[in-house]
């Protein structure tokens, strides 16, 4: 009276390639979206920055990561000497790493130097 009749069901088909692909499809789509929106543009920026840093030369006007703007007076393998001001007609120079240069400024931006 309280127990209903049980009916047997057919066994599900074995997991095939189609069901595995369907299960992985959302993960693949998420990976492709991340690649296109985040990873690829970041790699492009890194390549552009590396090319800019390698092409730095004397008398280029630059902006460092710390916000210091100046003119390059000496170029070494890993470091640059940047003139940031003149005090009593004497140049004030600092040494920075090449990788700390974030932007190459247009010529004539720093008129006081």
* Model confidence pLDDT, tens digit, residues 42-64: 999 999 999 999 999 999 999 99
- Position 87 pLDDT exceeds 90: yes
The model's pTM: 0.68
What backbone phi and psi angles, to 5 degrees, belong to 112?
-70, -20
* Sheet bearing 61-64, strands edge to edge: 90-97, 79-87, 69-75, 61-64, 101-105
């Amino acid at each position: 009276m309280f127990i209903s009749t049980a009916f047997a069901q057919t066994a599900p088909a074995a997991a095939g390639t189609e069901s595995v692909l369907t299960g992985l499809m959302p993960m693949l789509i998420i990976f492709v979206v991340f690649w296109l929106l985040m990873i690829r543009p970041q790699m492009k920026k890194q390549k552009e920055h590396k090319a800019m840093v390698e092409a730095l030369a004397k008398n280029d006007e630059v902006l460092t990561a710390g916000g210091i703007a100046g003119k390059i007076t000496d170029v070494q393998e890993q470091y640059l000497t940047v003139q940031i001001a003149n005090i009593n007609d004497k140049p004030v120079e600092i040494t920075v790493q090449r990788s700390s240069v974030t932007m190459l400024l247009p010529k004539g931006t720093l008129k006081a130097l």
